[in-house]
Chain A
Amino acid sequence: MFVFEANVMPAKKKKNSSDKPSKPIKISAIDQDILTVLLGRELYGLEILDQLNLGRPFELRFGSLYPALNRLEKKGLVTWKWGDEVDESGGARRKYYKVSGLGARTLREVQQYRAGLARRADGGASAWGGA
Chain B
Amino acid sequence: MLAWLGVLMVELLHGEVREMVFEVSAEDKVRFLLLDIDAIAMLLKKRKLLFFIDAMDKSNIQVYVTVNELKKIQSCILSDEPRLPLINLLQLCKVPEDSIAELGILFRRFKESDCTPWILCLRLLKEYLTLIWVFLIRVRIENIWLPSGDRQTDD
CB distance from B63 to the nearest CB of A (A): 9
Spell out A's residues near B (CB within 8 Å): 10-12, 44-46, 61-63, 66-67, 70-71, 73-76, 78-82, 85-95, 98, 100
Bound Cα distance A94, B142 (Å): 23
Spell out B's residues near A (CB within 8 Å): 28, 53, 55, 57-62, 86-87, 90, 97-106, 108, 127, 130-131, 133-135, 138-139, 142-143, 146-155
| Total A-B pairs, Cβ < 8 A | 123
Residue on B with the closest CB to A12? B147
A44 in complex: contacting residue of B98, B146, B147, CB < 8 Å: B98
Contact B146 A71 (CB under 8 A): yes
Bound Cα distance A82, B87 (Å): 14
Bound Cα distance A76, B152 (Å): 10
List, sorted by A's number, 20 A–B pairs whose CB atoms are closer than 8 Å. Answer: A45-B98, A45-B102, A61-B130, A63-B133, A70-B142, A74-B148, A75-B146, A75-B147, A76-B149, A78-B151, A85-B28, A88-B59, A88-B104, A90-B59, A90-B61, A90-B86, A90-B101, A91-B87, A92-B101, A95-B98
